[in-house]
Structures are given as structure tokens and as C-alpha cells.
């Protein structure tokens, strides 16, 4: 797991957004650019209050990277057909209404498709309930 300060994460996210708007020849990350068209490589980031930030690299096909459980994360993405809005957690969650906002970001490729996804959640439990094992690192 990599540790990031909020400023660095924001700069990386802003750079990725700028690259997305640039011509197709621009590079987000040389490692991601080297992924064959039918494979997947993602950088996953989570940051919350007090600049607490962390991130990992995840590869699928086959599962690898520094994610704590790359197989479970890749299986969750495959079950959702790479659609982050369709991610779910196994079982049910009873989350408190505590407000400790966290933001999750995924940048890279999923089975050849460019991914630039981010969403804010009211607290870490709600993040887990909506994304399953993908952001559990």
C-alpha cells in the first residue's frame, strides 16, 4: 500500500483528468500504457479527513499488484462488468450516519477501456458497502 498526502493525490487526479482531455497519444502511466488491450491495470486511491490517503496498484488477468486481495478485487470488478456503479459488497452492511467523508478514485484500464472514476462517500463503511473488496486495502 502506498501512502499519499492529499495534495499529491489531487495533483495526480488533476493530471489524469488533463491527460484524459489530451490527444490519445498522451500517457497516463507507462505501466498502464504497457497493458495489453484485453487486460486491466488500475491505480486505486482513497482519501479522507485530515489528509489521510492511501493507494495501491491492481492488475487483473491474472490478479496481481500491491492490493491486499487482488483476486477478490478483480472478481468484484468482473462481476460488475467493470461498471463501478454496479459494485456491491457481499452480505449486508449496517453503517452509522457518521460523517467522515472519504473519496475513492480509480484510474487506468479495465479490459482495454480507459477508467477515470471517482466518488465521495459519507464514511468508510458506506464506501465498503458500495464497492465491496475493491477499496479494502
The per-residue pLDDT for 109 is 96
Tens digit of each residue's pLDDT (9 = 90 or more) over 79-133: 999 999 999 887 777 898 899 999 999 999 999 999 999 999 999 999 999 999 9
The per-residue pLDDT for 92 is 78
Superfamily of domain 2-135: Subtilisin inhibitor-like (3.30.350.10)
Q: Which of 50, 34, 45, 56 is nearest to 12 (CA)?
A: 45
Residue/partner pairs of 69-77 with CB below 8 Å, 24 or more apart: 69/133, 69/136, 69/137, 72/132, 72/133, 73/44, 73/133, 73/134, 73/136, 74/40, 76/131, 76/132, 76/133, 76/134, 77/40, 77/110, 77/134
Backbone angles phi, psi at 115, to 5 degrees: -120, 125
Tens digit of each residue's pLDDT (9 = 90 or more) over 24-77: 434 445 444 555 556 799 999 999 877 789 999 999 989 999 999 999 999 999
> What pairs with residue 118 in β-bridges?
105
Radius of gyration of the chain (CA): 15
Amino acid at each position: 500500500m502506498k501512502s499519499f498526502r492529499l495534495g499529491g493525490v489531487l495533483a495526480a487526479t488533476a493530471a489524469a483528468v488533463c491527460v484524459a482531455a489530451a490527444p490519445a497519444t498522451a500517457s497516463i502511466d507507462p505501466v498502464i500504457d504497457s497493458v495489453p488491450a484485453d487486460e486491466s491495470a488500475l491505480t486505486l486511491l482513497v482519501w479522507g479527513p485530515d489528509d489521510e490517503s492511501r493507494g495501491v496498484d491492481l492488475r487483473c488477468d491474472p490478479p496481481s499488484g500491491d492490493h491486499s486481495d487482488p483476486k477478490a478485487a478483480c472478481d468484484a470488478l468482473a462481476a460488475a462488468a467493470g461498471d463501478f456503479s454496479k459494485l456491491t459488497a457481499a452480505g449486508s452492511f449496517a453503517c452509522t450516519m457518521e460523517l467522515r467523508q472519504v473519496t475513492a478514485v480509480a484510474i487506468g484500464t479495465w479490459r482495454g477501456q480507459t477508467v477515470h472514476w471517482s466518488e465521495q462517500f459519507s464514511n468508510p463503511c458506506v464506501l465498503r458497502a458500495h464497492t465491496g473488496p475493491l477499496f479494502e486495502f
